[in-house]
Amino acid sequence: MSKCPEITGLTFSLSGQRAIEAIRAKQRLANVLAGIMAVTPLVEIFGGKGGLHSPLGIGWNIAKNDWAEWAQTLAAVNIVVQREVVQIAADEYQFGASSGKEREFWFAVANSCER
Amino acid sequence: MRLIQLGLTAFALIVATPSVPAEIAPDASLRNPIGQLVELAKNNMMNAIDAANKRIGYCLDLGKATIIKPDAIAKLKLTTIELKIAIFYSYLKAEEACTSDAVNMATTKITMFKTIEFEAYGRNDPEPFTDNNYNFTAAEICCGSAKIFLNAQLNYMGLNADKRAALDAILELKKPFNFFELSEYFDPTPVSAKP
């Protein structure tokens, strides 16, 4: 599996939505995300205050470059929060994801573009 | 002569009697101002949080870098869901074991700081401690993913005792390992998911 995937038409299961809400609640991560000017899908997903329906209503499209930015964002928060985000992503990857795309999303949330 | 003997005996007694060193003599000056105790507790806490951060980072990196062979687990003939449960709980447990000494020390020092700070100032801390690098609760350091861990543990406890014993005997699962690589081996993401 690519650790820096391009994912198109991604929608989230109920479990995935709950996991995203749990990550959004991490205040230290929220502070870092709030300082990012660029509006990318991952910033909207994890930093957004709204729902988790994509703007186009046809699913989220996440480009390879978005993951590189996510990796930088995650690296900017305390390691304790990083560990929590990775564990939430691992839990979703293993038990929550209802589609291959969603599973790949959680894989990349935890691993970004590392190889 | 008798006087000399008495004098010598008295001298011997004085020499033999352990004197109380000045540094441990009871003295009001050994009761340090509580403000100094708060400062010491704060320093202890900051050092312990730094050490915990380093250790957590080390254990995360170790896990990513450690690709374990699936053979020992494959031999157990677990079902797909049993494999998922076993690998996930083993991953969390190995990471907990790797970080626990440093994390436990940090939670102790955070609690000690909060305790002495409260004793010193009550609820009216004259200078709230706001350094974001150290402003953690003990719960944040130790148990941010408590629900995930406990859920995984409960699922693992639901596995057959013989299977758990066999899994617990696999040494490679006791140290941090790359969870995603191992899981992907047993349950690859469908090719259709890829663009």
- For every residue of chain A, which 3-state class applies, written as one string? CCCCCCEEEECCCHHHHHHHHHHHCCHHHHHHHHCCCCCCHHHHHHHCCCCCCCCCCCCEEECHHHHHHHHHHHHHCCHHHHHHHHHHHHHHHHHHCCCHHHHHHHHHHHHCCCC
pLDDT tens digits, one per residue of B124-154? 666 666 787 888 888 889 888 899 999 999 9
Q: Where are the domains of chain A?
A: 7-111
- Given a contact cutoff of 8 angstroms between Cβ atoms, the answer to whether A34 and A79 are in contact is no
pLDDT (0 to 100) of residue A68: 87
- Asked whether the beta carbons of residue A83 and residue B152 sit closer than 8 angstroms, the reply is no
Residue spans of the domains in chain B: they are 34-188
Q: What does the pLDDT profile of chain A (115 residues) look like in tens digits?
A: 556 889 999 989 999 989 998 998 888 888 888 887 777 888 888 887 656 665 555 688 999 889 988 888 888 899 999 999 999 999 999 998 888 999 999 999 998 766 4
Cβ contacts below 8 Å, chain A against chain B, sum to 74
pLDDT tens-digit readout, B30-46: 888 999 999 999 999 99
Looking at the predicted structure, is the pLDDT value of residue B189 above 80? no
Q: Which two tokens stand for residue B75?
A: 């031999």
Provide the mean pLDDT of chain A.
Answer: 84
DSSP B59: H
CA B175 → CA A97, B65, B83, B91, distances in Å?
26, 12, 18, 8
Q: What is the pLDDT of residue A69?
A: 86
* Token pair belonging to B47: 């050092």
* Chain Cα centroid distance, residue A74: 10
One-letter amino acid for residue B42 of the chain:
K
Interface test with B, best of A13, A87, A98 (most B CBs within 10 A): A87
Q: What is the pLDDT of residue B10?
A: 53
Q: Nearest Cβ partner of A110 from B56, B140, B180? A: B180
- Which chain A residues are within 8 Å of B183, Cβ to Cβ? 93-94
Q: What is the mean pLDDT of chain B?
A: 86
- State the pLDDT at residue A5: 86
CA B66 – CA B72 distance, rounded (Å)? 15
A contacts of B65 (beta carbons < 8 Å): none
pLDDT at A31: 84
Residue B69 has pLDDT above 50, yes or no: yes
**pLDDT band, residue B195 (cuts 50/70/90):** very low
Asked if B193 and A88 come within 8 Å (Cβ–Cβ), the reply is no
Rounded to an integer, the average pLDDT of B44-59 is 96
Contact A96, A16 (CB under 8 A): yes
Compute the distance between CA of residue A69 and CA of residue A47 in angstroms, rounded to an integer: 13
Nearest to A45 by CA among A76, A66, A68: A66
Residues of A in contact with B192 (CB under 8 A): 100
CA angle B39, B41, B47 (to 5 degrees): 105
What pLDDT, on a 0 to 100 scale, did the predictor assign at position A19? 93
Find all residues with CB under 8 Å of B102, minimum gap 6, and list them: B48, B51, B52, B54, B55, B56
Taking 80 as the threshold, does the pLDDT of residue B6 lie above it? Answer: no
> What proportion of chain B, given as a percentage, has pLDDT over 90?
62
- The region, left, alpha or beta by phi > 0 then psi within -120 to 50, assigned to residue B178 is beta
Q: At residue B89, does pLDDT exceed 70? A: yes
Q: Quote the pTM value.
A: 0.84
Which residue has better confidence, B136 or B19?
B136
pLDDT at A53: 62
- Which pLDDT score, from 0 to 100, does residue B192 have? 46
CB neighbour class for B19 (10 Å; exposed up to 12, middle 13-18, buried from 19): exposed
